[in-house]
Structure formats: C-alpha cells, structure tokens
C-alpha cells in the first residue's frame, strides 16, 4: 500500500472514531465518516466496501501498530508483556476515553469494547505462545488478564482515579506477574519468582 492510500485510510479511521464518539453505530453512515474525514464518498469505496470493513481494518491496524513498537521487555526475561507499554499509552489517550465511559450504554460502545478486548487477547496470546515459561497458561487465565488490563486502563478515564499511565502500567505488570506465577509450571516457577522480586 502506498503512502497516499495509508494516509487516506488513516483519515477515514479518524473520521469513524469521531463519529462513534457522537452517534450509535447504526446512526453512523459512510457519508458521515467521509464528511468527518473530509474525503469523498467515492474515495471511501476505493478502499472499503462499507463501515464494517473500515472498523475491521481499524482494529487490524491497531494490532499491527502495537506489534510494531520497539520491544524493550520480554515475558520470560522480566515477566512483562512487551506490548503493554504501547497498549497503555494508546488506550489512556483522552481520544479513547469514550470506550471506557460506563455511563454510555450505546450499541457502538459495547461493540467496540468487545472488539478491543479481542484484539488485546489475541496480541497477548501471541506472546504467551512464544514464551518458554508461560506457554501452558490456560485460555481462561489469558481471558481474565485481557479483561483486567482493559478494566485497569479504564480507571484512568474515570473520576475515581488520578493515576498516571506509568502507574497504570505498573499496576498491570504486578497483576499479570502474580497471575502467571500462580499458573506457572514447576520448572519455571523459580525464575518467575525472581523476576517479581527484582521489581519489588
């Protein structure tokens, strides 16, 4: 994909998010998205067949973007998911606050929250599967971690928490380390315990 196409798609994604912050999914039209993105409707259809395909692309893009971040952490070496700093940075942005607003009960919010949870779970599952010490982590634990990550990130968007993203990241790292240690294999337990002790 050339630079112009990537730029057009980026504008359309922004237009979609802008519209979803204001309207329910069913009320958002392709024309609304194009108007918000300042892009012609005909150009939209050169890239996507409809708004559902654009939403799918937006989530794929989010996953690829986070996977592409520079990795400074390793699940086996320091008990930390490498993708977590990028995830926390992106999701604690005020731009994404609408995703975590529990007072908004629209179909759009529920749809996007569910899709976001799927993206997070898939990315974390990839790191789990590539891990030597944690590859046998049960799917139920992974699902619990993924939901817990988003719930913890959500606290930064509410009046109940004044925490900074770095504090949220530390909370998430601690939660994940504790869960992984509880479900780790006997051979890996000692190494993981040492990782946690280095943090304390």
pLDDT tens, residue by residue, 47-63 = 999 999 999 999 999 88
DSSP label of 71: P
pLDDT tens, residue by residue, 7-55 = 999 999 999 988 988 888 888 999 999 999 999 999 999 999 999 999 9
**Other CB atoms within 10 Å distance of the CB of residue 164:** 11
Q: Which two tokens stand for residue 27?
A: 């009320």
Asked if CATH classification 1.10.10.60 holds for the domain at 3-49, the reply, yes or no, is yes
Query: C-alpha dihedral over 118, 121, 122, 127, to 10 degrees?
Result: 170
Whole-angstrom distance, CA of residue 68 vs CA of residue 88 = 15
Domain residue spans in the chain?
A: 3-49, 69-199
Whole-angstrom distance, CA of residue 46 vs CA of residue 108 = 25
Its pTM stands at: 0.79
DSSP label of 2: -
């Amino acid at each position: 994909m050339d630079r112009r196409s990537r730029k057009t798609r980026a504008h359309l994604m922004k237009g979609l998010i802008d519209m979803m912050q204001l309207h329910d999914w069913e009320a958002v039209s392709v024309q609304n998205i194009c108007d918000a993105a300042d892009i012609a409707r005909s150009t939209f259809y050169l890239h996507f067949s409809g708004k559902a395909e654009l939403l799918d692309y937006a989530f794929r893009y989010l996953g690829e973007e986070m996977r592409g971040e520079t990795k400074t952490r390793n699940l086996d070496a320091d008990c930390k998911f490498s993708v977590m700093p990028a995830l926390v940075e992106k999701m604690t942005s005020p731009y994404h606050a609408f995703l975590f607003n529990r007072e908004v009960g629209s179909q759009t919010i529920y749809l996007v929250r569910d899709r976001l949870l799927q993206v997070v779970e898939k990315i974390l599952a990839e790191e789990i599967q590539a891990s030597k010490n944690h590859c046998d982590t049960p799917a139920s634990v992974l699902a619990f971690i993924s939901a817990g990550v988003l719930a913890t990130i959500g606290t930064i968007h509410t009046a109940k928490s004044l925490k900074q993203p770095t504090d949220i990241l530390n909370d998430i790292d601690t939660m994940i380390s504790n869960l992984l240690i509880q479900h780790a294999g006997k051979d890996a337990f000692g190494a993981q315990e040492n990782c946690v002790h280095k943090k304390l």
